Structure 1
Amino acid sequence: MRIFVETVDAQSFTAAGDRLGLSKQFVSKRVAALEKRLGARLLVRSTRRLRATDLGLAYHERAQRILEEVDAAEQLITSQTAAPRGLLRLSAPMTFATLHLGAVIPAFMQRHPEVVIELELNDRAVDLIGEGYDMAVRIGTLADSSLVARRIAAVQLITCASPGYLRRHGTPSAPGELASHACLTYGRARRGEWTFRVEGRIRKVSVSGPMRANNGEMLRDAAMAGLGIVSLPDFIVAAALADRRLVPVLDKFRPEGINVHVVYPQHRQSSLLVRAFSDFLAERFSATGA
């Protein structure tokens, strides 16, 4: 049942085998044996990918619920008798991870020596279920989803630019003036939206400029080179602000901090390892006052 569920989620015998530590051939044979025993075709196989039949989808839904109950039953026992162990596949934003998780993860692994962590640093929002992650760190507003979320910290968004840029183009005195400035934006959209607090209300301002990227450090460096204004989390720009390579603008319009969450699929909610790592992150960031 577990092999079949992983195969449907991964849409590949090879990927399912990688997740389970099994060979592609073994996974394929076990799924074929399951279909033979049930007397039904559960998967449609092609050279490019696998997809579940209608019966396969119905079986997958029931099997997933059963496996969650099995995991919950096992966790009920192991949480009383055992320490966290096993593999934790984790995704986190690159800059946040290098600055804040570099010491945290080794400390957690020293506390729990039977844990193995597989860390992927990526600024995109990965598909936890489809790509086989146990949990992820996310910064900012969470998209509506079935994921379980736990807040572990908060960061401030700082709007800033280099002194050279401000000498050449002037310093904006209100968020609406950003329309006439070069703004360096995060993400894929040609135009971005930055959030400010104006007269006690949250206001979103459309911005655009000569560069957009999905990595905050690249945008910070471009701002330091004088290409435009950025709005980035404080942990990315703190050093540049401290030595005046960047200076803050529109500070009086700064909104409240944005939250940092750990998120994980509902079926991992009963995992002792996921809970232990979430608790550890919350404990560490609470201790630092984040």
Structure 2
Amino acid sequence: MDRLQGMRVFVRVAEGGNFAGAARALGMSPAAVTRAVAALEAAVGARLFIRTTRSVKLTDAGGRYLEDCRRILSEIAEAEAVAAGSTATPTGVLTLTAPVQFGRLYVLPVVTAYLGRHPAVSVRALFLDRIVNMIEEGIDVGVRIGHLADSGLSAIRVGSVRRVVCAAPAYLERQGVPETPRDLRDHAVIGSTATGDLPEWRFGTDRRVTVTVHPRLVCNTVDAVLAAALDGWGIARLLSYQVASAVAEGRLRILLDADEAAPVPIHVVSPEGRRAPAKTRAFIDLAAARLRADPRVNPVG
């Protein structure tokens, strides 16, 4: 009998406390169970059980070996499930989350391509400008922008974006162009509760330069901040992908780029990691490939 089968028999006997019960559970004869345990004891060179006419108890060596066997068998089962799932057809409902504008601009095209490839899957997309508890809310995969807390999520970095200061040309013509971060104190600033960086804006790759801003206008959505900046009301701080089209069209101008903080990472995250079902792994693979190839999302490669 092979070693792994011997381990399975040993674990079953240890958990049930008797050979007869293990034999019934495994569909083996009691004699075969006894031989399997004896062969395992011979292979490891230690007694695993103390047998009496009324009971079967683990030895000290058997107790330690039991934990190792459980771990080994669990890892093998997981590896087999992953291997089987890698060739399985994605099915079911995939629930995902991403920030609102990033989801609309970059994740939604991935979703539609994914649906085209996998006709047995449907998608529930939640585009939200807040960090959700993926386990509590039943979410399979998410796209997160920013440094990740130690959440236990499996994460794949797919790119990065810049945090930029910008304003409309009309505003700069009226109020002048700030030359240093501290010049922002003399300008109209548009704040955002969605970015989580009020009341301080940090600059420099080491984030050591800190400017306390006092915005007269504070909005709770990126779209509102962007609209106010485009209207020429003041200076805003947004992520580079959020202003890319307006900058390209000349409707916004990026300021203080020499003082920018380090790029902000983008990750695709999942609570299940390697044990995720085929529907989730297929989406993660596609999203990672698409986002890494997009220079707007991954300007630093």
The TM tier, using the shorter chain, reads 0.5 to 0.7
CA distance in 2, matches of 1:76, 1:146: 19
| Secondary structure at the counterpart of residue 131 of structure 1 | coil
Across the aligned residues of Structure 1 and Structure 2, the Cα RMSD in angstroms comes to 2.7
Aligned to 1:193: 200
After superposition, the Cα gap between the structure-2 partners of 1:90 and 1:229, relative to the gap in structure 1 and judged at 3 Å, is same
| Secondary structure at the counterpart of residue 142 of structure 1 | coil
Structure 1 runs of 4+ aligned residues shifted over 4 Å read: 68-71
8 Å contact 2:268–2:288 — kept in the other structure?
A: no
After superposition, the Cα gap between the structure-2 partners of 1:252 and 1:81, relative to the gap in structure 1 and judged at 3 Å, is closer
CA distance in 2, matches of 1:169, 1:70: 66
CA distance in 2, matches of 1:222, 1:70: 57
| Cα-to-partner distance string for 1:122-152 (whole Å, 9 max, x where unaligned) | 1111121222211211112223322222211
CA distance in 2, matches of 1:112, 1:70: 29
> Which deviates more, 101-110 or 183-192?
183-192
CA apart distance, 1:169: 2.4
CA distance in 1, matches of 2:76, 2:90: 17
TM-score, with length taken from structure 1: 0.68
CA distance in 2, matches of 1:114, 1:251: 46
- Give runs of aligned pairs for residues 102-141 of structure 1, distance below 5 A: 102-141=108-147
Q: Unaligned 5+ residue runs, structure 2?
A: 1-73
Q: How many residues are aligned here? A: 222
| Secondary structure at the counterpart of residue 230 of structure 1 | strand
8 Å contact 2:99–2:130 — kept in the other structure?
A: yes
CA apart distance, 1:210: 1.9
CA distance in 1, matches of 2:89, 2:208: 45
CA distance in 2, matches of 1:151, 1:255: 19
CA distance in 2, matches of 1:106, 1:132: 21
Q: Does 1:274 align with 2:280?
A: yes
TM-score, with length taken from structure 2: 0.65
Larger-Rg structure = 2
Q: Unaligned 5+ residue runs, structure 1?
A: 1-67
Identity of matched residues, %: 37
- Give runs of aligned pairs for residues 237-276 of structure 1, distance below 5 A: 237-265=243-271, 267=272, 269-271=274-276, 272-276=278-282
CA distance in 2, matches of 1:150, 1:187: 27
| Secondary structure at the counterpart of residue 204 of structure 2 | strand
8 Å contact 1:84–1:114 — kept in the other structure?
A: yes
Counterpart pick for 1:147 among 142, 153, 162: 153
8 Å contact 1:71–1:270 — kept in the other structure?
A: no
Aligned to 1:166: 172
CA distance in 2, matches of 1:147, 1:282: 16
After superposition, the Cα gap between the structure-2 partners of 1:74 and 1:85, relative to the gap in structure 1 and judged at 3 Å, is farther
CA distance in 2, matches of 1:78, 1:177: 59
